[in-house]
Structure 1
Amino acid sequence: MKLKTKSPIGAEAIEAKGWIGAHRFLILRRISQAFFLSLFLIGPWFGLWWVKGNLSGSLTLGILPLTDPFIALQSLVAGHWPEMTALIGALIVGVTYALIGGRVYCSWVCPINPVTDAAHWLHDKLNMPKGWQPKANTRYYMLAMVLAVSAATGTIAWEFVNPISMLHRGLIFGVGFAWAFVLGVFVMDFVLARRGWCGHLCPVGAFYGLLGRGSVLRITADKRAACDDCMDCFAVCPEMHVITPALRGGDDDTPLILSPDCTNCGRCIDVCSVDVFHFTHRFDKTPSPGRVRTPSNSASGADKAA
């Protein structure tokens, strides 16, 4: 094992890039999440109704309708045809995420992401055991169940328990039962299952992952030949299984991370001290030599990915 694998995660990146350089996409994500959340809160808080509604459905400046396509889909299976403005809003949002990457919503917009990230940070800080890990495809069963319940009850079923909507209500109306759902997600990721909610259970993430299967925006491990096996990228990735095919591939394997589970959060770019990863597009054909595997580096860093 290399000595550097014993250092804190991202230490080499901080030394090479500086603290801001090693956290730039994390910082940008927090700014993005705060921006989108504030758009919905400045109305009820300060009377500036630039945006009316929430992430489920909204009207911006009285002109631009935006609708969560997952909400629109539930409405359709429940037997309720949405109004034309809602359908237009769902089409706008759906096409946008289909192009830039469905799970970009999860890492750059969803206000629950900072909650689960905080739980994961505290989980690691206290060196908690890994805990129960549901299978990753459980979220797709959750998605199917939500649609089935909507069809059976004639309701938009997910909105009764949606932590995102509950967080909005809690911020607008103050202390109340809504916060119990948000706290439940935090406790689950902190105590029961590391990255359990976003990575294994959330049907919204499952839906947006399916929506963005053919998206243009991608991360590439185009400099994978320079990888020194520090394993920091695996340690910070919320969906670490998406990295392996791109990073460990041979000369004939694409360095693009094409899995719909990737959230395009950019943390692998942040923590890589040798700049293996970059944002690009799915049509990038830049040649990328495969990894040269040696006995010394093939097993190093396993403790960080555990």
Structure 2
Amino acid sequence: MSTKTKLPTGQEAVAAKGWLGAHKWLILRRFSQSSFLFLFLMGPWLGIWWVTGTLAGSRTFGVLPLTDPFVLLQSMVAGHWPELTAIIGAGIVLAVYALVGGRVYCSWVCPINPVTDAAHWLHDRLGLPKGWQPKRSTRLWILGTVLVVTALTGAIAWEVVNPITMLHRGLVFGMGFAWALVGAVFLFDVVVARHGWCGHLCPVGAFYSLVGRKSLLRISASGRAACDDCMDCFAVCPENQVISPALRGKSGETPLILSPDCTNCGRCIDVCSVDVFAFTHRFDNHVKDTELVADKAA
């Protein structure tokens, strides 16, 4: 293992690329998340109604309908047939996330992501153990449970406790109990389970991972021969089990991160000082020539 693992995470990348270069995708994600949230808040806060509704269902400029397909699915399971505009809106959202990667929602849109990222930062800062780590398939079981409860009760069950919805409503109408729920998610990730909420429990993330199984947008470890084993990519990745198959693959094996659990957050690209990772598409199996040189040397 490289002695560079002893360095603070990202320090080598900052030295090589500068602070902005080592945080480019993180900054863009925060801008994206805040922009989406602000679009919904412009109406109730400023009286500018470009977008009406919430992330569950909205209309842009009074024309473009967008519907959370997970909410639509629950509605249908509950026995409530949606209006045509809701179906169209869900179809648009499904098409977008099927192309760019379902869990792009988790890292580029979801307002809970900055909360869980902050929890991870504090968890590392305090030097806490990773804690309880349920199987990542747990979120799929929770997804199934939500649909069963929805079918039995005839209500859209997840929206009753969805921290995303609670946070949005809290920002518009006053936080109240929403603070408690968002705070519980934060504390869960800090004290109970590292990356616990998004990585192991959230049914929304589970749903979008299924949507994006064949998505075009992917991250590739095309420069993996240059890897110096600093381990920074594993340290920052919220789903670090997806990295090894691409990074440690042998010559001839794809450098693409194909797991639907990948959120395409880009942090592995940010913190890599030798530019191992890059955004590409799922049909790009290209590896840099340095890999061929390394194979010959071996």
TM-score by length of 2: 0.96
Structure 2 SS opposite 1:200: helix
| Matching residue of 2:78 | 78
Question: AA paired with 1:69?
Answer: P
**Residues 250 and 290 of structure 1 are in contact (CA less than 8 Å); yes or no, is this contact kept in structure 2?**
no
Tell me, in whole angstroms, the C-alpha distance in 2 between the residues paired with 1:231 and 1:131: 20
| Matching residue of 1:203 | 203
Asked if residue 102 in structure 1 is aligned to residue 92 in structure 2, the reply is: no
Asked if residue 267 in structure 1 is aligned to residue 267 in structure 2, the reply is: yes
- 1:267-286 equivalent positions in 2, closer than 5 A: 267-286=267-286
| Matching residue of 1:59 | 59
Tell me, in whole angstroms, the C-alpha distance in 2 between the residues paired with 1:270 and 1:20: 9
Query: CA offset at residue 290 of structure 1?
Result: 7.6
Tell me, in whole angstroms, the C-alpha distance in 2 between the residues paired with 1:233 and 1:91: 34
Question: AA paired with 2:193?
Answer: A
Asked if residue 120 in structure 1 is aligned to residue 98 in structure 2, the reply is: no
**Residues 4 and 229 of structure 2 are in contact (CA less than 8 Å); yes or no, is this contact kept in structure 1?**
no
Structure 2 SS opposite 1:273: coil
Query: CA offset at residue 291 of structure 1?
Result: 10
Question: AA paired with 2:5?
Answer: T
| Matching residue of 1:33 | 33
Tell me, in whole angstroms, the C-alpha distance in 1 between the residues paired with 2:3 and 2:241: 25
**Residues 120 and 195 of structure 1 are in contact (CA less than 8 Å); yes or no, is this contact kept in structure 2?**
yes
| Matching residue of 1:235 | 235
Tell me, in whole angstroms, the C-alpha distance in 2 between the residues paired with 1:94 and 1:290: 39
- 1:180-219 equivalent positions in 2, closer than 5 A: 180-219=180-219
Question: AA paired with 2:286?
Answer: T
**Residues 107 and 113 of structure 1 are in contact (CA less than 8 Å); yes or no, is this contact kept in structure 2?**
yes
Tell me, in whole angstroms, the C-alpha distance in 2 between the residues paired with 1:89 and 1:292: 49
Structure 2 SS opposite 1:20: helix
- 1:101-180 equivalent positions in 2, closer than 5 A: 101-180=101-180
Gaps of 5+ in 1: 294-306
**Residues 65 and 88 of structure 1 are in contact (CA less than 8 Å); yes or no, is this contact kept in structure 2?**
yes
Question: AA paired with 1:257?
Answer: I
**Residues 99 and 217 of structure 2 are in contact (CA less than 8 Å); yes or no, is this contact kept in structure 1?**
yes
Query: CA offset at residue 83 of structure 1?
Result: 0.5
For residues 242 and 132 of structure 1, do their structure 2 counterparts lie closer, same or farther at Cα, with a shift above 3 Å needed? same
Q: Deviations over 1:205-231 (max 9, x none)?
A: 000000000000000000101101000
| Matching residue of 1:2 | 2
| Matching residue of 1:253 | 253
Q: Give aligned pairs, total.
A: 293
**Residues 12 and 273 of structure 1 are in contact (CA less than 8 Å); yes or no, is this contact kept in structure 2?**
yes
Tell me, in whole angstroms, the C-alpha distance in 2 between the residues paired with 1:278 and 1:3: 24
Q: Deviations over 1:21-42 (max 9, x none)?
A: 0000000000000000001101
**Residues 169 and 175 of structure 2 are in contact (CA less than 8 Å); yes or no, is this contact kept in structure 1?**
no
Q: Deviations over 1:84-141 (max 9, x none)?
A: 0000000000010000000000000000000000000001011112111111110000
Structure 1 SS opposite 2:21: coil
**Residues 3 and 230 of structure 2 are in contact (CA less than 8 Å); yes or no, is this contact kept in structure 1?**
no
TM-score by length of 1: 0.94
Gaps of 5+ in 2: none
Question: AA paired with 2:198?
Answer: C
**Residues 2 and 228 of structure 2 are in contact (CA less than 8 Å); yes or no, is this contact kept in structure 1?**
no
